[in-house]
């Protein structure tokens, strides 16, 4: 892969990969590590990707890198949302802030599905391929996360 192609893909998908990693790891530093590791993998493998498959390939690698990162010994603890992420929340309006915080409070498997579906716009089938689970499991996770969110919003007084 030449530098021009690499830079083009990096500029196009960096933000998206960063946000997937951030919603997974809850840490800005870890999210950047995952971005770097994902693009290094792209350089090493140089897969033949179409415009339609490149984002999905990168997101799948990023999710796997996140899993590896959280598996490592010193990260095996429940990580609270990084302080540096909290900084950005200040510019959100109150409802956005509430939705964002509620989703970030969800257990990992639920918030990842929510992020991929709501923000990245992937279908159940695509999410199933990325996470290597069945589409019905994706649907179930989404259903449960909505139930959990409903409860959280009720507590916060948001309809």
Partner 1 sequence: MREKYKSAMDKLLVDENMKASIGENLLKQNDTLKNKNKITKSYIKIVYGACAVAMLVVMLVSTWMSARAVQAATRIMSDAMKVTLDASEDVIDTVTEEIKVIYTSLDDIEAEYTEGPGHSSITMEYEDKKVEDYIEFVDDCVIFYYEDVRIDITGQFSHETFFRYDVNEDYRIYVGGELDDIGLMRVMFFGDKGGRGIIYINDYNYESQPWQIKVMEDIEEKE
Q: Which residues bind partner 1 (CB under 8 A)?
A: 1, 3, 6-7, 10-11, 14-15, 18-19, 22-23, 28, 32, 35-36, 39-40, 43-44, 85, 88, 91-92, 95-97, 99-100, 103, 114-115, 118-119, 149
CB of 154 to partner 1, least distance (A): 13
CB of 16 to partner 1, least distance (A): 10
Beta carbon nearer to partner 1, 24 or 39: 39
Beta carbon nearer to partner 1, 60 or 145: 145
Tokens of 26: 């809850």
Beta carbon nearer to partner 1, 18 or 137: 18
CB of 13 to partner 1, least distance (A): 11
Beta carbon nearer to partner 1, 70 or 158: 158
CB of 118 to partner 1, least distance (A): 5
Do 38 and 61 form a contact (C-beta atoms < 8 A)? yes
**According to the 3-state scheme, what is the secondary structure of the chain?**
CCHHHHHHHHHHHHHHHHHHHHHHHCCHHHHHHHHHHHHHHHHHHCCCCCCCCHHHHHHHHHHHHHHHHHHCHHHCCCCCCCHHHHHHHCCCCHHHHHHHHHHHHCCHHHHHHHHHHHHCCCCHHHHHHHHCCCHHHHHHHHHHHHHHHHHHHHHHCCC
CB of 115 to partner 1, least distance (A): 8
């Amino acid at each position: 892969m030449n530098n021009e192609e690499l830079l083009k893909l990096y500029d196009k998908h960096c933000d998206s990969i960063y946000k997937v990693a951030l919603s997974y790891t809850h840490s800005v530093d870890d999210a950047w590590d995952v971005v770097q590791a994902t693009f290094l993998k792209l350089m090493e493998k140089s897969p033949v990707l179409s415009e339609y498959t490149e984002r999905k390939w990168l997101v799948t690698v990023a999710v796997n890198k996140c899993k590896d990162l959280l598996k490592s010994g010193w990260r095996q603890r429940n990580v609270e949302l990084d302080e540096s992420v909290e900084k950005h929340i200040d510019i959100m309006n109150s409802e956005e802030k509430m939705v964002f915080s509620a989703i970030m409070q969800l257990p990992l498997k639920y918030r990842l599905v929510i992020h991929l579906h709501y923000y990245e716009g992937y279908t159940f089938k695509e999410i199933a391929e990325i996470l290597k689970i069945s589409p019905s499991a994706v649907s179930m996770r989404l259903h449960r996360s909505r139930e959990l969110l409903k409860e959280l919003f009720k507590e916060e007084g948001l309809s």
